[in-house]
Structure 1
């Protein structure tokens, strides 16, 4: 029976524990022989990630028991944390363990106990490893080494390094062989040519972020496994000269084709396009390279937040598996000769940048509006795609799932703003005639990120209770070309705030949302947008701010990790030239303007957005009579992973809306708001 009840008061089967239990997704898929391996989250086990294998007979098992945590901290955001190969004794696996950041090796079918390959370091953040490539012919694993040289987060160097597989470097740093020098601040792991004689990788330097400008580096590999003739081939070649280039070129991925040519993704045209180049070409690769699928005005790559992301891989028959799209992504097979591109059929609208190939098989991870992230296999011979593992299971009646629609709104100066709108939806309830629903604007992180249109039980938690959600892909988001991405350049805290407000106002003006019951929420860069919105507009009745940036000056002067330590040079402007802009934009320095109630959520182990910023913000708000709550979480870093944290966070957010919007609910734990 359908019951009439006010928006926000609807009863729902989507509880916080269900949301927490299904948080996270599989990642970093790979092949070991003819077995499929990947990592999976375990929210109930302290938020660790385990390594899972699927045997040819379909049996799946977790390889590493607690407390092993397969996750790298390189750049703090990590990346590809494991590699494996098939040997006479069964699989040989090398992985990075989160707690101590050492590399370990294990042979699950022999002695399964992991053995360390790399040493500890007491200096700063120690030694960290990511994006490994096994070289059993040399008895080594090649990967990125991130080595701290001092206590400050910016006292760090990164090189390509070779680690002995015999464990001789476990107590002896000198046994680690460095393959590259540290002329570049950032590098990805090496990609080896089919004949093993060349290596290619990506490098970049401050103040550029990898989506601003990178270099594709190449080198010859000697018989002894050393690099020679190291040089940039394509990419942001101007940045290699003093002063850098005026216009950047972002190369997001490199791979070798079977014929020895180098495949890469470049955004020189304004879109990340797939190209090919002869590695012996002179270093003016713009002329020598050739686009393989030109003029589509969509992305074949993305922002390199995690080292080792893959948007494409070559297949044995010369075709390429590619992840591509505009605002959403599809898995396709590209013929690089004809440019013909055929997409896999299926319900998936978002493919994560992780791929593996084996013969005619392509493995990827995908989700859709009605399914969570699944491990999908595409058989390129038949064109048939099937779910291989992590199959979506409806843990509640799909009738309670959100019913989203993607829309394009008009923002200031007539600019387009892309968003996913999730209206309140519950088959058991309708609202009284004439009532408009409350809406929460979700600002994604990054800010160089994007909210995908996929099933999210956290969204269902709110929509099934009668609270709408608007996910805004504000200017600066990826997936819509470089021009859209660079709208935020110098205007962070302006464009993102304006775009979120434009969507919220449009929903109210068209009669889809209650103008008096609008809220905003976000984490990380989205937390910044939420805080900046509350201190610069009176549009929102309240807001939820999670692990945010609040003080730009502090962030730009040693208050964050190395990777993003100069990100504000492009988002805000050169600190040396516009220091007043940093203060002017910071929510910390406008705490006197905030009037709406807010909830502040923070991990106490966060080194990207440290809790000190929250503490200074709270001190600035104290005594001003603004209702607020602060929930710090021990053992959590940048983004929450533990089930108990996720439960508390989502229930506290609902409790904020209950109090602010005047909702009547008896199933929400108390949240004390202090003035």
Structure 2
């Protein structure tokens, strides 16, 4: 068959929004029963209004009884760690009422916390001796204002169905973990103005456990320093040894703490410029699994995930495993004795699967992979998938900009029919802004820019954005669109969600060159910084102080100058705004205001408000509509329809 030639952007494509959204589920967490070693997972179902449900991975059977059951928590607003399974009993948080439920596998859920409209629970752990007692994060919204929300660690007595305090005093908590014998507990905590990746601290305490409850004594600081060093992700290797991560070297590297000596030490013979973890945006994150004398870490290097073996005795270099996966999430221990883990893994041309990895030899780094839940069949032939091309560009100041490019790819076409034509391009800006775009299959991606401030490249790269949000990120995106020689710089459009939406709006309104991009799409993006600082949820309520350089009271002019809404009259490029009606992270008023200003000025602007959606799309019909609406918008702007 002879190949066709047509202008870029006008190729006939089999890729449709319906094909890539219909009945698609996403993996939210992997859960292992440590007693029975059975594997479960939480999946999000857009076709069921974005519902999360707990599923037996082996047979695909849903454990919750019906569509009214959402296995999800809103602790820290981004949630995560909504369920565990222990000895055939699941414990989970239900979104609709915030209560914790006990579910014997095959039975009916039973509430084990009191009825309350103001409590949220997450990150559960079962005491290994008094197994009717659970530790959890409790987030109390009795006064539902960011400054008044209270986070603590608590104990849930599932027999008496009561909740009791355990640890308090910090602004936030994560990952409470009992030691194997139940004699100690470890946890991570941090306080404003830090985010967990900026100044997280690790503590341990001795545990006094009876059938009636649990208390702690002799609380001991392990590692971490406010605003300077983040210690994170604690987990027990034994009753005496705690494993965690620290970025004291400038990169997230593995560490351990010995109770007998009270000494924390690095597990590597010398620090390496590899990230052994990512910023802790959600509570289910844990970047490693403990095996027999070793830990298997998920690393981030050159924009993709990897697997590295770390000797828990310390003093040696990490050893890389061969892996076909470019993104690995939710790594969990299946059997430490048999050196088996389970994780969610994605490839460049395949959606996420749940995979078992068995390390057969630590010296030669031999590993075998077995799919427990294979990736769903792709809706299109693999030869239409564009392979990611990692690219490092240099700013005018000589700083690196990390990007990933996906070239036009269609086996029916040989290229453009216009000699010398370069393709138009959709430049994607990730959220966070302390986030990262990796190289897994994503039908919406064409050029991803991991601008200064992104994770995955060390703490210094993240801190390039300190005091410069809305400046450095925008400049990196503009320079990337011009420096990459593979696309037409006059036909680059910019898109982003949340913080990426803010960067998009800044690029269209705040820069001297407001024609840098042909158009832009802001999905639930920030347009006005001052009300965001005043009204966003507790977890991020002090985040702006570092990103902007102070509070609205300290530097009001900077907040005004960096807010796109105050420069909306300068937006000349067509703008598409997509917003969730019940978004509590970036409230819809942010979208309403900038839309109204651009519209009244006579600018080209479209606005779609999605009922029942929050910060990000969960419903199948929303995801489909947003994709189709965005595609039509670009085709119109670029004259491709």
Say if 2:293 is the partner of 1:318. yes
2:138 — aligned with what?
145
Aligned pair 1:487/2:472, yes or no?
no
**Separation (CA, whole Å) in 1 of partners of 2:506 and 2:598:** 14
Q: Are 1:54 and 2:30 counterparts?
A: no
Q: Which residue of 1 aligns with 2:205?
A: 219
2:258 is aligned with 1:278: yes
Measure the CA separation in 2 of the matches of 1:120 and 1:594.
49
Q: Is the 8 A contact 2:97 2:116 kept in 1?
A: no
Q: Contact 1:273/1:293 (CA < 8 Å) preserved in 2?
A: no
Distance 1:192 1:213, change over 3 A: same
SS of equivalent to 2:81: coil
Q: Deviations over 1:301-355 (max 9, x none)?
A: 220111241111211x211111113232212332233525333333112212442
Q: 1:24 to 1:540 in 2, by over 3 A?
A: farther
Deviation at 1:184, TM superposition (A): 0.2
The answer to whether the Cα contact below 8 Å between 1:218 and 1:279 also exists between their aligned partners in 2 is: no
Alignment of 1:37-186 (within 5 A): 37-55=40-58, 59-64=59-64, 65-86=66-87, 91-109=88-106, 112-122=107-117, 126-135=118-127, 137-138=129-130, 139-166=132-159, 168-169=160-161, 175-181=162-168, 183-186=169-172
CA shift for structure 1 position 357: 3.0
If the length of structure 2 is used for normalisation, what is the TM-score?
Answer: 0.93
The residue correspondences of 1:336-415 to structure 2 (distance < 5 A) are 336-337=312-313, 339-359=316-336, 360=338, 361-381=340-360, 383-415=367-399
- The equivalences for 1:656-671 within 5 A come to 656-664=633-641
Describe the SS at the equivalent of 2:435. coil
Deviation at 1:280, TM superposition (A): 5.2
Give 1:154 deviation, angstroms.
Answer: 3.2
The answer (yes or no) to whether the contact 1:531–1:587 under 8 Å persists in 2 is: yes
Partner of 2:622: 645
* 2:418 is equivalent to residue 441 of structure 1: no
Q: Does the 8 Å CA contact 1:520/1:544 hold for their aligned counterparts?
A: yes
| Equivalent-residue separation in structure 1 for 2:350 and 2:632 (angstroms) | 28
State the distance in 2 between where 1:344 and 1:37 align: 25
Partners of 1:416 and 1:22 in 2: CA distance: 40
Residue 463 of structure 1 corresponds to which residue in structure 2?
none
Distance 1:578 1:412, change over 3 A: farther
Tell me the TM-score normalised to structure 1 length. 0.89
The alignment's C-alpha RMSD in Å is: 1.7
Instruction: Specify the alignment match of 1:10 in structure 2.
Output: 11
Q: 1:495 to 1:659 in 2, by over 3 A?
A: same
2-structure distance, mates of 1:16, 1:450? 24
Is the CA contact (8 Å cut-off) linking 2:128 and 2:182 kept in structure 1? no
Structure 1 contact 252–301 (Cα < 8 Å) conserved = no
Structure 2 gap ranges (5+): 362-366
Are the equivalent residues in 1 in contact too, given 2:127–2:182 (CA < 8 A)? no
- Please report how far the alpha carbon of residue 196 of structure 1 lies from its aligned counterpart in structure 2 after TM superposition: 1.1
Bigger strand share:
2
1:371 Cα deviation from its structure 2 partner: 1.6
Which stretches of structure 1, 4 residues or more, deviate above 6 A after TM superposition?
Answer: none
1:28 and 2:18 aligned:
no
Is the 1:293–1:336 Cα contact (8 Å) retained in structure 2?
A: no
Q: Which runs of 5+ in 1 are unaligned?
A: 170-174, 240-246, 460-468, 665-675
8 Å contact kept, 1:378–1:386: yes
Partners of 1:163 and 1:176 within 8 A in 2: yes
User: C-alpha separation between the residues in 2 aligned to 1:388 and 1:457?
Assistant: 24
After superposition, give the CA deviation of every residue in 1:548-569 in whole Å (9 maximum; x if it has no partner). 1111111112x21110011000
Is the CA contact 1:334–1:340 (under 8 Å) kept in the aligned structure 2? yes
Q: Give the Cα separation in 1 of the matches to 2:127 and 2:379.
A: 43
Q: Are the aligned partners of 2:310 and 2:317 in contact in 1 as well (CA < 8 Å)?
A: yes
In the other structure, the counterpart of 2:241 is 261
Q: 1:525 aligns with which of 499, 502, 523?
A: 499
8 Å Cα contact 1:448-1:485 kept in structure 2: yes
1:446 counterpart SS class? coil
DSSP-derived class of the 1:563 partner: helix
User: Hey, what's the Cα distance between the residues in 1 that align with 2:473 and 2:258?
Assistant: 41
